Structure 1
Amino acid sequence: MDLNLTKGVFKMRFPEKIYTLILVAFVSACGSAPDKMGNVDLNKWRGDRGGCNNVRSGQKADFKAIEEELKGKFADDIGKILGRPDIHQLGERNQKFYVYFLQKGPQCEDMKSRSEAEKVILKFNAVGLLSEITYQTRPL
């Protein structure tokens, strides 16, 4: 009889544990974006959509200093940290590319315009981890 009582207690507590774990996971996933990473002011970075205010260009050296810290993070986490990318492209084999413009250019008038403005391109592998960061000025 004690055995059945133990099973009954286990059945009552098991769902409670599951719900607690789900709640903890949900709360930790909804954390707010950081304000700073290294010397990069992420609020200013996120606020310079398209690089149109040239704020990102002034943070380029500081951004380069945090590249290794960014690598290996998931695309969703990078989106929270750096903000929505100016351009989001899908590549072969489920690769993704996030493009952030660093300086003002034709993209400020129309984001679909080809632009030679300097940009940073973040490449994500098939499982969504940031694997490579490059800089370029040629149009996409």
Structure 2
Amino acid sequence: MNTDTCFCGFPADYSNCCGKVHANINMARTAEQLMRSRYSAFVLANGDYLMQSHHSSTRPLKDKKAITSWAKSVTWVKLEIIGKTKGGVQDEEGTVTFDAYYYENGKLEIIHEKSVFKKEDTHWTYLGLAI
């Protein structure tokens, strides 16, 4: 990985991008920033952050080990943000549509998802898939 680019694709190194959000979730000022930080957490297999950034009403607490194990078992390639609605600094909810590319068992796979994000305790969280 280019040291001048964060795992999420932003032109900043990890410590000045998603690393700040992993250290303090309140640093994610928008739904897209939280989405990008969650992608980086998958790259790093940071299960604690993935649970912390998941809305409490939909958080799969028992799946932390399985999620971490799976995240370690694949090779993450890149994240592409396709679109977003709301999710700004002043909003309470928003969506982010993305493609996350990874290799699993030697095959390139893509997660295509439209995710819903919602503020909880003044910070952004992942609520689930948009319907």
Please indicate, yes or no, whether the TM-score normalized by the shorter chain is above 0.5: no
Which one has a larger percent strand, Structure 1 or Structure 2? 2
TM-score (norm 1): 0.27
Answer with 1 or 2: which has the greater Rg: 1
